[in-house]
């Protein structure tokens, strides 16, 4: 067998899914080819690492309760049973390549997070600077887009802040608002950095949205001072 | 006779004195420069809107169907006004909208069952003995409430809020002002950004306390069956509860330190990313207390 043929069957080889004759042929090739043997060993290590990952990551209780309530009993018309969608198996990336890609993604994410959080204060300062930059006034209202809630909170707070400035409140009131917005924005920046380190953490996401809500509350409270 | 009535000088003086006497006998009477005393008939459950930007507003409930006001106005404070019966508006109208050069001190008596709405800028607000709903707002003045109002909503951006009341529903909100709550409140919510929140636990069926950097201190003995939720970003949380408190206390913090000397720790789990989870059982349980912080220390101890 040639190297290309062997590498095309390596994922089945490590999974023990090859027939007897093919298994013997691959084994014979690997015995005499250092490159293919190294690749096979790498693949076995990747699969072993993948096997150590938790079988499932359950969302926190309170997050799941919200999702569960939204799901309801009736199947959504948007959801097509998997069996109905599964057609003939198409040739694509082999399983080991998918696993390798997933692990590579984890490694890259971890590396980026390490760099980002090497100096925690710098990362928070960066988040604060970004928060200060103008975001689009109207965020996309797409329930499925991750961060859509955050975008909506951002848009709402910018709208309220603009309304507050138009109300022509006293400089003393605006100073109180500014000081407290700084406190809230610093908290939001810290939560965003923490979420960068642990993107799937439902509790952190909930805390972030709750802190945005506090910002909205503050702006609404300030707006009341201008009401007659 | 040409139809005209002519008065002698003496007659004119007598007429002027009569007019002054008539004014003096009415409920509205200007006693001295800057001081106004005024009374007005009102329904027992009147809705009263009070507007005083600067100075102080003190309101007390009484068992009469009338509103009585003593207003002391500094020069530049503005003009006092009051009108209405079932819905009454009273206050000090500033010389220019939204600003005032002087302060006003209002002492107001209202029917005990009134619904009272007060708005202030730096004026303090004090309410005692009113049993209708209260909606009190000051930008930087303090807010104090005593009695048994039907509901309380108290807000101050920077001033302190102090409430000792028996009420089924209470909402207190500040930005940097402190909040002190005591009494019997069935449904309580207190929110601050950086202000300290202190609550004496009593008969709360539901309590929610939230701050960003403000400290939260809960003391007393929460009644069994209640549900408490406390959440801060970095404000330290202290539960200093009666030693015989019956409560299940769950603590979750991402970066804060948890210390407990009350009850038994049933479960403790720490993870670098997910943070720490503690479950503590005080007495026989029965009250649910949940504390969540991002990076604040949490201390649970018996009250001294």
Residue-wise pLDDT for A117-146, tens only, equals: 444 555 556 555 555 544 433 333 344 444
Q: How many Å lie between the alpha carbon of A217 and the closest alpha carbon of chain B?
A: 9
Residue B231: beta bridge partners? B210, B292
- Chain A interface, best mutation among B123, B254, B293, B295, by max A CB count within 10 A: B254
What is the Cα–Cα distance from A50 to A15, expressed in whole angstroms?
13
Inside any domain, residue B89: yes
Residues B148 and B201 in one domain: no
Backbone angles phi, psi at A58, to 5 degrees: -85, 135
B36/B125 same-domain check: yes
Report all structural domains of chain A as residue ranges with CATH numbers, in order of start.
3-96 (1.10.10.1320), 111-224 (no CATH)
CA atoms within 13 A on the CB side of A71: 9
Assess A197–B contact: CB distance below 8 Å, yes or no: yes
Sequence-ordered list of residues with C-beta below 8 angstroms from that of A21, at least 6 positions apart, any chain: none
One pLDDT digit (tens) per residue for chain B, 304 residues: 344 445 566 665 555 554 444 444 333 433 334 899 999 999 999 999 999 999 999 999 999 999 999 999 998 888 999 999 889 999 998 887 766 678 999 999 999 999 999 999 999 999 999 999 999 999 999 999 999 999 999 999 999 999 999 999 999 999 999 999 999 999 999 999 999 999 999 888 899 999 999 999 999 999 899 999 999 999 999 999 999 999 999 999 999 999 999 999 999 998 877 889 999 999 999 999 999 999 999 999 999 7
With CB atoms and an 8 Å threshold, state whether B191 touches A217: yes
| Assigned token pair, A208 | 């972030």
Contacts of B157 in chain A (CB under 8 A): 173, 176-177, 180, 221-222, 225
- Condensed to tens digits (0 to 9), the pLDDT of residues B247-257 reads 999 999 999 99
B70–A contact, CB cutoff 8 A: no
> Residue B228 half-sphere exposure, CB side, CA atoms within 13 Å?
31
d(CA A220, CA A225): 9
- Residue among A176, A198, A228 whose CB faces B175 most closely: A176
Task: Assess whether B139 and B100 both reside in one domain.
Answer: yes
Angle formed by the axes of helices A202-224 and A148-166, to 10°? 10
The structural domain count of chain B equals 2
Residues 6+ apart with CB under 8 A from B96: none
Is residue B298 within 8 Å of residue B237, measured between CB atoms?
Answer: yes
Same-domain pairing of B229 and B285: yes
Nearest to A172 by CA among B57, B192, B99, B135: B99
The whole domain housing B265 covers: 178-304
Contact A183 B193 (CB under 8 A): yes
Q: Does B270 touch chain A (CB under 8 A)?
A: no
Chain A partners of B139 at a C-beta cutoff of 8 Å? 170, 172-173, 176, 225
Q: With a cut of 0.90, is the ipTM above it?
A: no
Beta-bridge partners for B125 = B57, B143
Q: Does B89 touch chain A (CB under 8 A)?
A: no
Residue B152 and residue B50 share a domain:
yes
Q: Which residue has the tokens 């049973």?
A: A81
Smallest Cβ distance to A180: which of B98, B175, B233?
Answer: B175
Contact between residue B73 and residue B80 where contact means Cβ atoms under 8 Å apart = yes
């Amino acid at each position: 067998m040639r190297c290309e043929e062997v590498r095309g069957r390596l994922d089945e080889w490590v999974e023990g899914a090859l027939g007897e004759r093919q298994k013997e042929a691959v084994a014979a090739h690997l015995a005499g080819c250092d490159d293919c043997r190294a690749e096979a060993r790498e693949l076995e290590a990747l699969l072993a690492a993948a096997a150590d990952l938790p079988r499932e990551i359950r969302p926190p209780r309170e997050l799941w309760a919200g999702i569960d309530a939204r799901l309801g009993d009736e199947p959504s018309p948007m959801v097509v049973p998997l069996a109905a969608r599964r057609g003939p198996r198409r040739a694509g990336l082999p399983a080991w390549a998918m696993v390798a890609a997933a692990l590579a993604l984890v490694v890259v994410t971890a590396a980026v997070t390490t760099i980002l959080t090497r100096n925690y204060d710098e990362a928070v300062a960066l988040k604060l600077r970004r928060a200060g930059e103008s975001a689009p006034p109207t965020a996309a209202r797409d329930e499925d887009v991750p961060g859509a809630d955050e975008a909506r909170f951002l848009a709402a707070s910018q709208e309220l802040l603009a309304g507050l400035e138009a109300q022509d409140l006293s400089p003393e009131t605006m100073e109180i608002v500014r000081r407290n917005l700084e406190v809230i924005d610093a908290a939001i920046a810290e939560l965003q950095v923490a979420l960068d380190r642990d993107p799937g953490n439902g509790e952190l996401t909930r805390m972030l949205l709750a802190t945005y809500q506090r910002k909205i509350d503050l702006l609404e409270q300030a707006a009341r001072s201008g009401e007659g | 006779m040409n139809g005209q009535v002519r008065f002698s000088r003496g007659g004119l003086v007598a007429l002027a004195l009569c007019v002054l006497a008539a004014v003096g006998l009415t409920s509205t009477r200007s006693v001295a420069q800057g001081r106004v005393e005024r009374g007005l008939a009102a329904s027992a459950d009147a809705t009263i809107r009070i507007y005083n930007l600067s100075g102080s507003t003190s309101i007390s409930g009484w068992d009469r169907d009338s509103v009585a006001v003593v207003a002391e106005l500094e020069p530049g404070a503005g003009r006092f006004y009051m009108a209405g019966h079932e819905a009454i508006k009273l206050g000090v109208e500033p010389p220019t909208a939204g600003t005032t050069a002087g302060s006003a001190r209002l002492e107001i008596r209202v029917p005990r069952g009134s619904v009272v709405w007060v708005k202030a800028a730096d004026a303090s607000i004090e309410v005692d003995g009113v049993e209708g709903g209260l909606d009190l707002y000051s930008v930087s003045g303090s807010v104090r409430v005593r009695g048994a109002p039907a509901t309380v909503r108290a807000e101050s951006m920077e001033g302190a809020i102090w409430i000792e009341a028996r009420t089924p529903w209470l909402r207190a909100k500040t930005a940097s002002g402190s909040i002190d709550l005591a009494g019997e409140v069935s449904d309580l919510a207190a929110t601050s950004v950086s202000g300290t929140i202190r609550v004496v636990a009593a008969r709360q069926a539901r309590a929610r306390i939230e701050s960003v950097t403000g400290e939260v201190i809960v003391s007393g003995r929460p009644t069994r069956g209640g549900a408490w939720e406390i959440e801060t970003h970095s404000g330290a949380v202290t539960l200093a509860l009666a030693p015989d408190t019956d409560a299940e206390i769950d603590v979750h913090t991402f970066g804060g330190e948890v210390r407990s000397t009350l009850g038994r720790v049933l479960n403790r789990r720490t993870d670098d990313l997910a943070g720490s989870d503690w479950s503590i059982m005080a007495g026989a349980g029965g009250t649910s207390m949940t504390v969540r912080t991002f990076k604040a220390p949490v201390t649970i101890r018996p009250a001294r």
